[in-house]
Amino acid sequence: MLNTRRPPLDDGRVRQALLLATDRATITQAIFGGESSPAYGPLTAVTFGYDPLLAQRYPYSRDEAAALLKEAGWSDADGDGVRERDGQPLILDAILMTWGSVPR
């Protein structure tokens, strides 16, 4: 779970950049060996109400992700591979739960 009330995820451009920078096809192939399709939202492709247009909404694009982060003020000024803004590194805090412990 990501807290969208705290920086840097309080900026929609950063959240969009994360979506664009995630190579879902490669991740699902590596983890599930082709036995699962990539997720593009909270519903699977076989779930009633699934919108297949979501798969086209945020296609994998590192360049677009980088442009959004730059627009939001995050850049790698010192060339160390970590984006910073106002001297602070871009760090994401996430709460991860193990399978089966997701609250109902």
pLDDT digits (tens, 9 = 90+) for 42-95: 888 889 999 999 889 999 999 999 999 999 999 999 999 999 999 999 999 877
Sort 81 into a burial class: Cβ within 10 Å, 0-12 / 13-18 / 19+: exposed
Q: Kindly report whether the peptide bond that precedes residue 103 is cis, defined as omega within 30 degrees of 0.
A: no
Q: Which two tokens stand for residue 100?
A: 């089966």
Helix (H) or strand (E) run with residue 63 in it: helix 62-71
Q: What is the pLDDT of residues 4-55, one digit of tens each?
A: 999 999 999 999 999 999 999 999 999 889 888 888 888 888 899 999 998 8
- The conformation of residue 80, written as its DSSP 8-state character, comes to S
Q: What is the pTM of this model?
A: 0.82
